[in-house]
A = this chain, B = another copy of it.
Amino acid sequence: MLKKEDYQQHISAKFNTELESLRNHMLSMGGKVEHQLSEALEALVKMDSGEAELIVRRDSEVNQMEMAIDDECATIIARRQPTASDLRLIIAIIKVNRDLERIGDEAAKVAKQAVRISEDGKSPSNFVEIKHIGAMVGVMLREALDAFARLDVDQAVAVVRDDDEVDKEYGSAMRSLITFMVEDPRNIGVILNEMWALRSLERIGDHACNIAEHVVYLVRGLDVRHGRLNELRDGDGEL
């Protein structure tokens, strides 16, 4: 016969397996979204509209994943009634899930701009800004997911700092693209498409930053959204 303790251990082992599987689903959605982003950037720079259209179509797979993970979270909460730290993990996953879906959306928007750019013809910018900022946010996303997988606060804080850098680069990229528009108004159309793509990349950086902030919240129980990280940095010099 099963003793009560064995039974509870059994329940708890099952619960851990469920949490682990939830975490894995979220991380594999992260991998998928990362892939969508890098393919969208490649399609844009190569002006490959066929590839870009494939990426736009694949966004629905990411959307399906989001809904499945949400359902999984609701089922676990209802069935296991987790407390404190487990609940915090599940709520963090609900939020990261949303950020990942948004990143997928923005990657699809980059791909849509790739289709338009391939129709409008080459840009005078040679996509220098897009390549540069695209590479930066790609690294941020990978590192944010890594930080989540290993619950690594230091890495998460590094991602939040990178986002400041991306915002600065974004500002200067915009100024240099405006120069191309002013120099020759025939460039306005293609440059606008590049600007929308850059805007999407900047948003992807924001979402990667959100993911990193959830890691800090999970590990430290400290809500660093909305500038609390800066307060802390200014306060005692370290987190």
Contact = CB atoms under 8 A, between A and B. Distances in A.
A87 B78 contact: yes
Interface string A183-194: 001001100100
B77 A77 contact: yes
B77 A87 contact: yes
A94 interface: yes
Interface of A: 60, 63-64, 66-67, 70, 73-74, 77-78, 81, 83-84, 87-88, 91, 94-95, 98, 178, 181-182, 185, 188-189, 192, 195, 199, 223, 225-227
A189 B185 contact: no
Given A98-B98, A185-B185, A223 B67 contact: yes
Given A63-B226, A181-B185, A182-B185, A74 B88 contact: yes
A225 B67 CA distance: 9
A98 B91 CA distance: 12
Contacts of A63: 225-226
A192 B63 CA distance: 31
8 contacts: A66-B226, A77-B87, A78-B84, A78-B87, A95-B98, A98-B98, A181-B188, A182-B188
A199 to B, nearest CB: 7
A188 B192 CA distance: 11
Nearest to A181: B188
Contact of A78 (B70, B83, B182, B185): B83
A103 to B, nearest CB: 14
A132 B152 CA distance: 47
